Structure 1
Amino acid sequence: MINDDRANSSWVARHLLDLNETCRKIILSSEANNLSHLGGVLRLDLDIGVWEERLKGRPETKQLGDARRELAFAIFAASTGLYRLAYAGLRVFLELSFAAVYFSANELHRRQWIGDRKDFSWTSALDMESGVLSKSFVREFTPEAVDDAAQYARVAAQCYRHCSQFVHGKDVTTGLLPQSLAYSSEIVTDWAVSGRHAAESVLYLLYCRYSAEIFDLEDTEVCNTLEHSFSHLRSIRSLLGLPVEGV
Structure 2
Amino acid sequence: MPQQSAENASSVEKAMLKLHKSCMEHIELAATENESEINRVLHLEADLAAWLEALGERPEVQQFQSAHRDFGLAFYAAMSGLYRQAFSSLRSFLEVTVGAIYLSSHEFKRRQWVSGEIDISWKSITSPEDGLYSAPFLKEFCPEAASDQRDMLNSLKQAYRRCSEYIHGNVSTSQMLPPEIAYGDDIMKEWLTVANSSLLVVIHCFMVRYYKDLSRESKGIVEGSLEDHYSHLVSVRELLDLPLEEKRS
Q: What's the counterpart of residue 66 of structure 1? A: 66
Q: What's the counterpart of residue 181 of structure 2? A: 181
**Range that drifts further, 230-239 or 61-70:** 230-239
Asked if the contact 2:54–2:219 (Cα under 8 Å) also holds between the matched residues in 1, the reply is no
Q: Deviation per CA, 1:136-167: give whole Å up to 9, x if none.
A: 10221122112113311110101111111110
Kindly provide the amino acid, as one letter, of the partner of residue 170 in structure 2: K
Q: What's the counterpart of residue 226 of structure 1? A: 226
Q: Give RMSD over aligned pairs.
A: 1.6
Q: Deviation per CA, 1:162-215: give whole Å up to 9, x if none.
A: 111110001111111111111111111101111111111110000000001126
Q: Deviation per CA, 1:86-145: give whole Å up to 9, x if none.
A: 111111111101111122111111121122221210011011121012121022112211
Q: What's the counterpart of residue 172 of structure 1? A: 172
Change over 3 Å in CA distance of 1:56–1:221 after alignment to 2: closer
**TM superposition shift of 1:24:** 0.4
Asked if the contact 1:67–1:93 (Cα under 8 Å) also holds between the matched residues in 2, the reply is yes
**TM superposition shift of 1:2:** 2.0
Kindly provide the amino acid, as one letter, of the partner of residue 83 in structure 1: Y
Asked if the contact 1:63–1:99 (Cα under 8 Å) also holds between the matched residues in 2, the reply is no
Kindly provide the amino acid, as one letter, of the partner of residue 174 in structure 1: S
Change over 3 Å in CA distance of 1:82–1:112 after alignment to 2: same
**TM superposition shift of 1:242:** 3.1
Q: What's the counterpart of residue 211 of structure 1? A: 211
Asked if the contact 1:134–1:150 (Cα under 8 Å) also holds between the matched residues in 2, the reply is no
Measured in 1, the distance between the counterparts of 2:124 and 2:219 equals 33
Change over 3 Å in CA distance of 1:220–1:54 after alignment to 2: closer
Asked if the contact 2:41–2:196 (Cα under 8 Å) also holds between the matched residues in 1, the reply is yes
The unaligned stretches of length 5 or more in structure 2 are: none
Measured in 1, the distance between the counterparts of 2:74 and 2:39 equals 13
Q: Secondary structure at the residue paired with 1:179?
A: coil
Asked if the contact 1:237–1:244 (Cα under 8 Å) also holds between the matched residues in 2, the reply is yes
Q: What's the counterpart of residue 36 of structure 1? A: 36
Q: What's the counterpart of residue 236 of structure 2? A: 236
Asked if the contact 2:147–2:235 (Cα under 8 Å) also holds between the matched residues in 1, the reply is no
Q: Secondary structure at the residue paired with 1:245?
A: helix
2:33 corresponds to 1:19: no
Measured in 2, the distance between the counterparts of 1:94 and 1:218 equals 23
Summarize the alignment of residues 103-122 of structure 1 with structure 2, pairs less than 5 Å apart: 103-122=103-122
Q: What's the counterpart of residue 126 of structure 2? A: 126
**Range that drifts further, 214-223 or 31-40:** 214-223
The TM-score with structure 2 as length reference comes to 0.94
Measured in 2, the distance between the counterparts of 1:57 and 1:219 equals 15
Q: What's the counterpart of residue 139 of structure 1? A: 139
**TM superposition shift of 1:11:** 1.3
The unaligned stretches of length 5 or more in structure 1 are: none
Q: Deviation per CA, 1:49-73: give whole Å up to 9, x if none.
A: 1111111211111111111111111
Fraction of identical pairs, as percent: 36
The TM-score with structure 1 as length reference comes to 0.94
